[in-house]
Amino acid sequence: MKKSLLALLLGSSVALAACGGGEEAEPEKETGGDTAAVDGEQVYKQSCLSCHGQNLEGGAGPALDKIGSKLSEEDILNVIKNGQGGMPPNITEGADAEAVASWLASQK
């Protein structure tokens, strides 16, 4: 049983490496604060979607579909940086956080 499991794990890791799954991600590029270079919606999908939903409808976290009519971009960035309620601080940081805040502020 242990040999079968080991063979399965080794085979999976070889397959992932062959498909590119074993490669390291490229280091993030400095944008110098230029949030236009970062896609806020894409960062949302990577970092926020699991709690706030595919369509901003909420789930474990509150709905964000109209958050821009309630909070300013600065307020949204403050929540991202400092957390609020059950949301921990700094889920995303830097230009990514700024891009998400900007994108969410446009959701009205």
> Domain 37-108 belongs to what topology?
Cytochrome Bc1 Complex; Chain D, domain 2 (1.10.760)
pLDDT tens digits for the chain (108 residues)? 544 544 444 454 443 333 444 434 444 444 445 545 899 999 999 999 999 999 999 999 999 999 999 999 999 999 999 999 999 999 999 999 999 999 999 999
Domain ranges of the chain: 37-108
Q: What's the pLDDT score for residue 54?
A: 96
pTM: 0.66
Cα separation of 3 and 77, whole Å? 50
Cα separation of 24 and 64, whole Å? 32
Q: Which of 62, 97, 53, 93 is nearest to 76 (CA)?
A: 97
